[in-house]
Structure 1
Amino acid sequence: MSERKVKIESRVGLHARPAALFVQTAAKAPGDVTVAKAGGTPVNAKSILAVLGMDARHGEEVVIAADFDGADELLGRLEALLSTPEPENA
């Protein structure tokens, strides 16, 4: 199992557009992908309701994990989405 700890840089946290982009990217994976607040219970990263229900906010750390061939590449893309603040005019 591959996993990464990532600090959420989006001003709105893992909500609205950042959550939708995160879930759309995770949904392309051929296997299970989870996300959890540090120390929390992992949820299905392919479910928008589960991701929004975590209430992950700006500056919090989450753990993303996956277990399939190519998981590291997917985790890299998910990490990039979470660790990049959106532009000021977004």
Structure 2
Amino acid sequence: MAQRRVTVQSEVGLHARPAALFVGAAAESDGEVTVAKGEGQAVSAKSILAVMGLDVRKGDEVVITADGDGAEQMLDRLAEIADAG
């Protein structure tokens, strides 16, 4: 399982449009993809309600994990979305 830590730079955090982009990208993965706020409980990155429920704001660190084929590329893509300012 691959893992990446990202500090969210989006002005709105992982809410609204960035959350929808994040979840849409994660949903394209055949493997499991999770996201956690800091050291908190990981949730499915494929669920908009779960991701928005984390209440990730600008400056928060998230830990994204992915497994399966293309896990590193998936992490690159999700990190880019979370880091977009």
Question: Normalised by the shorter chain, which TM-score bucket?
Answer: over 0.9
Structure 1 segments unaligned to the other structure (5+ residues): 86-90
Q: Tell me what 1:68 maps to.
A: 68
How many aligned positions are there? 85
Question: Which one has the largest radius of gyration?
Answer: 1
Q: Secondary structure at the match of 1:65?
A: strand
Runs of 4 or more, structure 1, over 2 Å off, are: none
Partner of 2:53: 53
Q: Identity of aligned pairs, percent?
A: 58
Confirm or deny that 1:82 pairs with 2:77.
no
Give the partner amino acid of 2:80: A
Deviation string, structure 1 residues 8-52 (Cα, Å, up to 9, x no partner): 001111000000000000000011100001110000000000000
Q: CA RMSD in A?
A: 0.5
Alignment correspondent of 1:40: 40
Q: Hey, what does 2:27 align to over in structure 1? A: 27
TM-score, length of structure 2 as denominator length: 0.98
Determine helix, strand or coil for the equivalent of 1:63: strand
